[in-house]
Amino acid sequence: MDTVALRELEDIVDIPPIRLTGYEKKSDRIDLHATLAARSAVCPECGVRSTRQHGQKPIQVRDVPCFGRQVYLTLPRRRFKCRHCGGPFTEHLCFVEFGTNFTKRYEQHIFDECYERSQSAVAIQEGISDTVVRKVYEAYSGGYTEPAGRPKRIRALGIDEISMRKGHGRYICVITDIDRKRVVEVLSNRKKDTVISYLSDLPKSVRESIRYVSIDMWEPYYQAVREALPKRVKVVIDRFHVMQQLTEALTKCRRQLQRSARSKKAKEELKELRWILVMNEDNLDEEQTAKLKSLFKHCPRLKQCHKLKEDFRNIFETEKSRRQAQLRLQKWKQRAKRTGLEHIDRFVETLENWEEWILNYFSSGKVTNGVVEGINNKIKLIKRRGYGYRNNDNFKKRILVECSGQ
């Protein structure tokens, strides 16, 4: 191969310390033969550069794939004898970590391939073991889990949980920077003491920068915020969790009316329309709207409940003033109580218990956990992709790597 072609290939490979001497192309791989440009190396003990070569042996280093083929570099691993301290040492290759036979950029390639894919799938694709992929992933994921990678200021903090196994009461707690739309920490459980410990250990600059904390109606979260953060921090009950509780109350009312329906046809109709009832009215198509109107003719009480649900949503969609929102909620509660439905009454009771912090939504510039819910959906996808996680630390690393926005 002529010198010009080799120089062009070197530009493509782009590893300055080496000089290519040739290559072999096979069906599934490309072998690049190289020598090292420098004739000397620096002693790791005393830092003196030495030219006294003590010996060498050829090694193969795997590089990033090219044109659908694996790429290997064959080059000498040289040993020198230090002219200052007299000891022998092995030359350090700046593009290869000690103890590995991968280039650093190939390790980065493995790590990047693990993003939104399982480690087993990456191992199969690259033709290497799961253990190697796991070690590379653990080494490169450290920057996402270290405190140095966390934000120095957070205006709006989101606290929410995600179930590890349904029906088993196992939860992890996800802490989110709402403005930056990124996960900042994953706690092993949602207990009050665990959340207090995390919030109390935040750097002073972070704790002082927090103005709002968005939570669902989980009492331990509220107590943790009040105990661990300054009094001026406003707790905001997430509007989507409030709306979720109302739609659950509506669903229970539908079931109650379904059981008391006289005809079998009416029961089936109520059952078939269970999803349409909880959807936003603006999102219904013509067919769904027609079915809903037909149902309301036979069940006026359900129409009343649906109207309450839509009016409640409208308050959060349109109001900007806390005072006006409070007045509209008062009128809404009066209408809700007149329905005489048990599940609506329970929702009104919950609403009154948390009303002060629900109204903080309007005075906070409408801080919401909507970002957190989106992140939670991504976390559920990570869990499904890994067929569940037995090791919480591994799960936490995955979440921080894929959801921290670094």
Q: Cβ contacts of residue 249 below 8 Å, gap of 6+?
A: 343, 344, 346, 347
More confident residue, 73 or 279: 73
Cβ atoms of residues 319 and 362 within 8 Å:
yes
The two beta strands, 212-215 and 234-237, are parallel
Three-state DSSP class for residue 20 = strand
Query: Can you tell me the distance from the alpha carbon of 372 to that of 359, in angstroms, rounded to the nearest whole number?
Result: 19
Per-position DSSP letters for 294-326, written without gaps between them: HHHHH-HHHHHHHHHHHHHHHHHHH---HHHHH
Q: pLDDT at position 239, please?
A: 92
Q: Which of 209-218, 244-253, 266-275, 344-353 has the lowest mean pLDDT?
A: 266-275
Model confidence at 145: pLDDT above 70: no
Query: With respect to CATH, is domain 150-238+374-379 assigned 3.40.50.620?
Result: no
Query: Can you tell me the distance from the alpha carbon of 128 to that of 138, in angstroms, rounded to the nearest whole number?
Result: 16
Query: What digits encode the pLDDT tens for the residues 81-133?
Result: 998 888 899 998 999 988 889 999 999 999 989 887 888 889 999 999 999 99
Model confidence at 191: pLDDT above 70: yes
The model carries a pTM of: 0.75
Q: If pLDDT is split at 50, 70 and 90, which confidence band does 263 have? A: low
Q: pLDDT at position 157, please?
A: 94
The two beta strands, 41-42 and 182-187, are unpaired
Q: If pLDDT is split at 50, 70 and 90, which confidence band does 167 have? A: low
Q: Please compute the mean of the pLDDT values over residues 26-41 and round it to a whole number.
A: 91
Q: Please compute the mean of the pLDDT values over residues 339-367 and round it to a whole number.
A: 93
More confident residue, 18 or 260: 18
Q: Residue 185: in which H helix or E strand, if any?
A: strand 182-187
Cβ atoms of residues 78 and 41 within 8 Å:
yes
Model confidence at 270: pLDDT above 70: no
Strand pairing partners for 66? 69
SS (H, E, C) 101-158: CEEHHHHHHHHHHCCCCCHHHHHHHHCCCHHHHHHHHHHHCHHHHCHHHCCCCCCEEE
Mean pLDDT of the chain: 87
More confident residue, 64 or 266: 64
Using a 10 angstrom Cβ sphere, with 0-12 exposed, 13-18 middle and 19 or more buried, the burial of residue 152 is exposed
Q: Please compute the mean of the pLDDT values over residues 263-291 and round it to a whole number.
A: 75
